[in-house]
Amino acid sequence: MSDDPIHDHALAEAFAAYAADKLGASNLGVTALSRIHGGASRETYSVDIAFEGADGPETKGLIFRRDPPDSLIDTERRVEFAAIRSMAGADLPAPEALFLEADGGPLGAPFFVMGRIEGGQAANPFQLETLDPHRARLGEQFFRHLGTIASVKAEGSPLSKEIDVPAPDACWRRELDYWEGEIDKNARGPEPIAKAAIRHLRRNPPPPAQKLAVVHGDFRTGNFLHDGAGNIVAVLDWEMAHIGDPYEDLAWATDALWCGGDQERAAGFTPWPEAIALWQEASGCVFDPAAFEWWSIFAHVKAIAIWISSARAYADGENDDPILAWSGWFTHAAHEMIISARLAPLYMGEA
Amino acid sequence: MTDVPMVLQRIGAKLTGEVAPALEGHYLAGTAGMIGALAAMGGQAMEVAADNLMTEIGGMARLLEAGGRDPGDTNPASLKLTDLRALRDRLAADLIELQAEIEVSEEPEAKALNARIWNFFLGGAAARLPELPGGSTETE
């Protein structure tokens, strides 16, 4: 392996010119640039820059995320950028959103630039035991941050200026229609389990959203950074953010796939009553088990839709990141199992 | 060497156990680990794929018949996985239609058939779920 800290000199040069212009800095150079594995929906790069600041030489760590030819999730980077900006002022460790280039240009594809969170590491949802002995402490923050996102006023937020704001009684249908559409568009064969679950959800709709909230859309283990000492230092991956029912995030975050096989603890972190209490306190929402049940099954359907889209992108050769093949295979099969295990007893009990 | 599942599993072990650790620090380390996991899963899947598909084909044909539908010719054109999948997919599309029709019925026979379909889903999902190779899983 090369010891060169700059893995792509042409990209580093282009980024240096761009950053110098945006920061108004002189003598700006890139001293390190490396691609980070992960984030199949974007190519993610870590960059160190050095420049002449007002008070002398300065260095800064940045992250930029550039669109690949095909993304895992078909959304606009301006939505992700606006979602992060919507968290300004909230008690939430989100990266600093710096610059957005929605039309590509300087780096050949749309991208945006964030401040780098130093010292953070991602958690693997399939190896939650590696978080011990900090699991309970991380769980407390996990559910508090989840609630904090739901507490941010959606109306008037930067995100609300970029996307449609649904009526409270339309949140569930909008999400279900969208993700069923993704399944129909991308499935490489019939999906009897997903379709049966979708019909089940349509026959048993949830109550209207108790409030309109900013929904992160992919808040779960794997999408936050922690410092190894029990502190969450950043909530990442905002590309699926939208405005909707706050239960959507709670259900997604506690989906059985992310709990490391530990369903006694919400998201594999915190005993359920405690997790719900933390979320209620931070969000200002009241927990309704029936509404949560709907959104929890919906989370499985949404997941299957994402895995199907991943498989399609991989099969069509639009994106050759093997994570897409893995998502389209293992996680798809896992969610078919999860849905069947939840709904089969219900219908078998009716017979 | 015709023991393809064994070869794939060994390739997977090599990639996850040796190649990926040697690339530590480079983003391709994660890619190598993922490819290794996929190869190992492929080895397992190859061993059981035809058997699983034939089981699904038989199960769906019986459910369609129980619902009064003709499943058509359920003999695959060959035992190639592409032919088995094509037949399975045709039957699965018919099963979706059948279930959508009967699941809204209050008739006991319809409820019993819907229960059988869900039981079939459960069994099929369990059979399709790959065993994860140790220590090489991640999502993003």
pLDDT tens for A246-284 read 999 999 999 999 988 888 999 999 999 999 999 999 999
Q: Which residues of B touch A39 (CB under 8 A)?
A: 140
What backbone torsions phi and psi does residue A186 show, to the nearest 5 degrees?
A: -110, -10
Q: Which residues of chain B have pLDDT under 50?
A: 135-140
Question: What are the chain A neighbours of B103 within 8 Å (beta carbons)?
Answer: 196, 199, 347
A72 vs B96: which has the higher pLDDT = B96
Distance from CA of A290 to the nearest CA of B (A): 21
Grade residue A75 by pLDDT with cuts at 50, 70 and 90. low
Distance from CA of A8 to the nearest CA of B (A): 12
Longest CA pairwise span in chain B (Å): 62
- C-beta atoms of A196 and B99 within 8 A: yes
The reply to whether A39 touches chain B by the CB within 8 Å rule is: yes
- The alpha-carbon gap from A338 to the nearest alpha carbon of chain B, in Å, equals 9
Which amino acid would we find at residue A318? E
- Residues in A touching B133 (Cβ below 8 Å): none
Cis peptide before A68 (omega within 30 of 0): no
Percent of residues, chain A, with pLDDT higher than 70: 95
Report percent pLDDT > 90 for chain A: 69
**Which residues, at least 6 apart from A279, have a Cβ–Cβ distance to it below 8 Å?**
A143, A144, A146, A147, A150, A250, A285, A287
Instruction: List, for residues A281-304, the tens digit of each pLDDT value.
Output: 999 999 999 999 999 999 999 999
**Minimal C-alpha gap between B97 and chain A (Å):** 9
Q: Please tell me the predicted confidence (pLDDT) of residue A204.
A: 98
Residue with tokens 């399975």: B88
- Whether residues A196 and B103 touch (CB distance < 8 A) is answered with yes
Q: Do A323 and B139 touch (CB under 8 A)?
A: yes
Q: How far is residue A131's CA from residue A124's CA, in Å, rounded to a whole number?
A: 9
Give residue A69's pLDDT: 55
Residues A233 and A223: their CA atoms lie apart, in Å, by 11
pTM score, two decimals?
Answer: 0.90
pLDDT tens digits, one per residue of A194-209: 999 999 999 999 999 9
- Measured between CB atoms, does A342 come within 8 Å of chain B? no
Distance CA B61, CA A321 (A): 37
State the average pLDDT for chain A.
91
Q: Is B38 in contact with A348 (Cβ distance < 8 A)? A: no
In this complex, the residue of B22, B85, B140 whose CB is nearest that of residue A38 is B140
Q: Flag if B27 and A322 touch (Cβ within 8 Å).
A: no
Query: Is residue A331 within 8 angstroms of chain B, CB to CB?
Result: yes
Helix (H, G, I), strand (E, B) or coil at B9: helix
Q: At what angle do helices A332-350 and A192-203 cross, to 10 degrees?
A: 50
How does pLDDT run across A3-24, given as a tens digit for each residue? 778 888 999 999 999 999 988 8
* Cβ within 8 Å of residue A117, ≥6 positions away: A93, A95, A225, A233, A234
pLDDT at A74 over 50: no
Kindly determine whether residue B111 and residue A330, on different chains, have CB atoms separated by under 8 Å: no
Q: Among partner residues A334, A341, A350, which is closest to B115 by beta-carbon distance?
A: A350
CB contact (8 A) between residue B111 and residue A351 = yes
Please report residues of A whose CB lies closer than 8 A to that of B95. Answer: 190, 192
Q: A168 with A212: CB under 8 angstroms?
A: yes
Q: CA A267, CA A287: separation in Å to the nearest integer?
A: 17
Residue A1 is predicted with a pLDDT of: 52
